[in-house]
Amino acid sequence: MSDRPAAQSPWQTVTISRIEKRTPRVTSFFLEPSRPFAYRAGQHVDVRLTAPDGYQARRSYSIASAPEAGETIELAIERLDDGEVSPFFHDIAAVGDEVELRGPLGGHFVWSDSDGGPLLLVGGGSGVVPLMAMIRHRAARKSTVLVALVFSARVWDEVIFRDELIDLHDRRDGFDLVLALTRESARRPADYSRRLDVAMMEQSMLRLPAPPRFAFVCGSNAFVSAAAQALIDAGVPASLIRTERYGV
């Protein structure tokens, strides 16, 4: 769930074509728009649900799929027990169901391979979703832009897109993955078992051949504030840091 203000854009009906479990609390929903649209990696959409009594609930979700993925878009939705929209998706929604959607929205937190790099991505929990769109876009374009992702999660089983990210890392084509697990020991030699800090940001930047041209940070309010400050303290100019904040 995002705290981004909704932008004016026409609503349309989308159909759930596939559902895929990602972690115990995150599930991907693949949606087929009635009016397909182009979008950039990092953009989001608004989803609206309408109850039988007319009450409407609306939430913003980042697009996880790459722009090259075709007409179907992927939303990776985390279950929030006190939410109005995510419980519907996790407990009720089924393939073939229809919901309302509008977008794409957002023009600040976006990246295309033509923008160049190197690129430093920092994600916390479900904040990795728009960063995943950028990573998939890079892979689809066979881009040579060097990218490092620092992904913080509580435990190994909560690393969203874990197998896909590790596979991309293992290609050794210029994408580097660093995991920071905050509630259990790291599983890979180069990963961390602590919260993000300045030293971690400094070490992560050493994985790039040059200082990052852009840094994208996405996660909860507290995570983004801490990660952005760590980047600044590690020497990244604030003007190069773009942030996206989710929830509270």
Report residue 119 CA to chain centroid gap: 15
Q: Is the pLDDT of residue 248 over 90?
A: no
Q: 210 vs 40, 108, 191, 215, CA distance in Å? A: 25, 23, 21, 13
Q: Is the pLDDT of residue 170 over 70?
A: yes
Average pLDDT estimate for 178-199: 96
Average pLDDT estimate for 158-166: 98
Q: Is the pLDDT of residue 5 over 50?
A: no
User: For position 247, what pLDDT does the model report?
Assistant: 63
Q: Is the pLDDT of residue 191 over 50?
A: yes
User: For position 8, what pLDDT does the model report?
Assistant: 63
Structure tokens at 33: 């728009």
This prediction has a pTM of 0.94
Q: Is the pLDDT of residue 29 over 50?
A: yes
Where along the chain do its domains lie?
11-105, 113-245
Average pLDDT estimate for 208-222: 95
User: Is 113-245 in the same CATH topology as 11-105?
Assistant: no
User: For position 9, what pLDDT does the model report?
Assistant: 79
Contact call for residues 30 and 17 (beta carbons, < 8 A)? yes
How many CA atoms within 13 Å lie on the side-chain side of 10? 7
Average pLDDT estimate for 22-45: 97
User: For position 116, what pLDDT does the model report?
Assistant: 94
Angle between helix 128-140 and 162-170 (nearest 10) = 40
Q: Is the pLDDT of residue 76 over 50?
A: yes
Amino acid letter, residue 160? I
Written out in words, the top-level CATH class of the domain with range 113-245 is alpha beta
The overall longest dimension of the chain from CA atoms, in Å, is: 57
- 11-105: CATH, from 2.40.30.10, 3.90.180.10, 3.90.230.10, 1.10.15.40: 2.40.30.10
